[in-house]
Amino acid sequence: MQIRNAQEADIPVIAQLWHLGWHSAHASIVDVDLVRLRAPAEFMTRTAAHLEQTYVAVLGGEIAGFFMIEGNEVYQFYVDPAQHGSGFARRMMKEAEARVPASLAWLACSVGNDRAAAFYAKNGWRNVGEEELQVETSEGPRPVRIWRFEKTL
């Protein structure tokens, strides 16, 4: 696995991974209005807006995952489903953690996203509670209930 800064040419692949991963993990646990807004075009726009904070994980010459670091937050973290169960996500998380510029990192996990919550806990992240987070959309911020996970690095 190689980690590199995302480039403009990567936007379509990142946006597709993000769109598919987001819908797989969130469509059944968040408000239907948010699901409606999470169309492919929105992921293209969001990926472009966050490109400078985005890293891609390349495996066999192909992008197999990505993460975004914003301040001390692992803002987004998605892995190609073909890599699930392979240990790839664990290695990618170590790379993401190494790029957080603070000793205390955090990430948001939508309440009900049990698979992701279990992954974070298995990798040393601690669920410190539930809160409401305003997420960005093309129609302005929307509230989502999240579990806040933290980890001392």
The share of the chain scoring above pLDDT 70, in percent, equals 100
Q: Where are the beta strands (DSSP E) in the chain?
A: 2-5, 54-59, 62-70, 73-79, 104-110, 126-135, 142-152
Looking up tokens 């040419």 gives 9
Q: Identify the pLDDT of residue 125.
A: 98
Taking the C-alpha atoms of residue 60 and residue 130, their distance in angstroms, rounded to an integer, is 38
pLDDT in tens, 110-125: 999 999 999 999 999 9
Instruction: Please tell me the chain's helix, strand, coil percentages from 3-state DSSP, rounded to the nearest 5.
Output: 40, 35, 25
Amino acid at 123: N
* Confidence (pTM): 0.96
Q: Identify the pLDDT of residue 13.
A: 98
Total residue count of the chain as it appears in this document = 153
Give the domain ranges of the chain: 2-152
Q: 2-152: what CATH class? A: alpha beta
What is the SS3 assignment for 151?
A: strand
Q: Identify the pLDDT of residue 140.
A: 94
**For residue 109, which of 70, 142, 143, 147 has the smallest C-alpha distance?**
147
Q: Identify the pLDDT of residue 72.
A: 97
Q: Identify the pLDDT of residue 62.
A: 97
Low-confidence ranges of the chain (pLDDT < 50): none
